[in-house]
């Protein structure tokens, strides 16, 4: 469970013990004993190994770690999920989301997201709807470009000169293509929702926004690194992604 908690903190960002318990439950991991105490004990162990930092009473975040350690943790959690899936199959219908292979990169302008992203997004949105994450991330909902059904994904908007923007971290991502086809989108944070129009900005306008992205949204840097889009996470590396990674501006819906 310790590795799973560390991975969750890397994906979710700073989180409370209660939020981590909810995330574990949504990943179908059972927590023995009193869940909050079990999770707190596991986090203290990870703190001793400098993989987790304490940010305040009952609030933690992932610490920096070598890529080899990060790879070991991701591999171990993947194995645990596969094992849990097989156990649930033996006991009855599985509720786990099917594992998606992530090592293969598709064509240059359509990068396959890592296997954990879709199930992690579901966990993240559940935690947000419970009101456990109140600042920063939001849920973006747009109609599917083919089905017309609402499609939701967590995003982290950032503000520059009073205007809000979002970066499509994976070129060719489904939500990016849906946003391009949509007239109106919905942003939700907790119980508050608003309708907006998403305007994709041209590459020249996107460059300074991408340059500011690693400073304004530091939690997004690891995603870009894991996708192979940047190597060190420097602002100039992000600026060079103009034209590859979509940047949208949120305007009020009339």
Report pLDDT digits (tens) over 9-27: 776 677 777 777 777 766 6
- Point out the least confidently predicted range of 64-73, 86-95, 181-190, 200-209: 86-95
Is there a contact between 235 and 221 (Cβ–Cβ < 8 Å)? no
pTM over 0.95: no
CATH architecture of the domain with residue range 117-252 = Roll (2.30)
Is there a contact between 197 and 184 (Cβ–Cβ < 8 Å)? yes
Is there a contact between 221 and 229 (Cβ–Cβ < 8 Å)? no
Sign of torsion over alpha carbons 178, 233, 243, 71: negative
Q: What is the CATH number of domain 2-91?
A: 1.10.10
The share of the chain scoring above pLDDT 70, in percent, equals 69
The per-residue pLDDT for 204 is: 92
pLDDT digits (tens, 9 = 90+) for 103-142: 332 333 455 665 556 666 677 666 666 665 556 688 899 9
User: Would you kindly state where each structural domain of the chain is located, as residue ranges?
Assistant: 2-91, 117-252
Q: Where does the pLDDT of residue 244 fall: very low under 50, low under 70, confident under 90, or very high at 90 and above?
A: confident
What is the rounded end-to-end Cα distance, in angstroms, of the chain?
A: 48
- Laid out side by side, the sheet with 52-56 consists of 15-16, 59-62, 52-56
The share of the chain scoring above pLDDT 90, in percent, equals 25
Mean of pLDDT values over 214-220: 90
Nearest residue to 25 (alpha-carbon basis) of 127, 149, 117: 127
Q: How far apart are CA 227 and CA 224, in angstroms?
A: 5
The per-residue pLDDT for 102 is: 30
């Amino acid at each position: 469970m310790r590795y799973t908690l560390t991975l969750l903190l890397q994906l979710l960002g700073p989180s409370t013990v209660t939020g981590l318990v909810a995330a574990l439950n949504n990943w179908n991991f059972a927590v023995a004993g009193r869940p909050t105490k079990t999770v707190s004990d596991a986090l203290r162990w990870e703190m001793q190994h400098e993989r987790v930092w304490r940010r305040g009473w009952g609030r933690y975040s992932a610490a920096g770690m070598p890529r080899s350690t990060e790879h070991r943790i991701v591999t171990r959690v993947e194995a645990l999920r596969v094992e849990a899936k097989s156990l649930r199959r033996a006991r009855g219908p599985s509720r786990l989301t099917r594992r998606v292979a992530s090592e293969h990169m598709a064509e240059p302008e359509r990068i396959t997201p890592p296997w954990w992203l879709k199930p992690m997004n579901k966990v993240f949105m559940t935690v947000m709807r419970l009101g456990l994450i109140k600042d920063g991330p939001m849920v973006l909902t747009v109609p599917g470009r083919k089905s017309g059904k609402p499609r939701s994904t967590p995003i982290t908007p950032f503000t520059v000169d009073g205007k809000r923007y979002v970066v499509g971290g994976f070129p060719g991502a489904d939500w990016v293509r849906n946003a391009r086809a949509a007239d109106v989108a919905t942003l939700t944070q907790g119980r508050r929702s608003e309708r907006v129009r998403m305007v994709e900005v041209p590459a020249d306008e996107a460059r300074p926004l991408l340059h500011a992205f690693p400073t304004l949204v530091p939690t997004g840097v690891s995603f870009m690194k894991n996708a192979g889009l940047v190597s060190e996470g420097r602002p100039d590396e992000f600026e060079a992604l103009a034209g590859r990674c979509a940047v949208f501006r949120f305007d009020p819906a009339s």
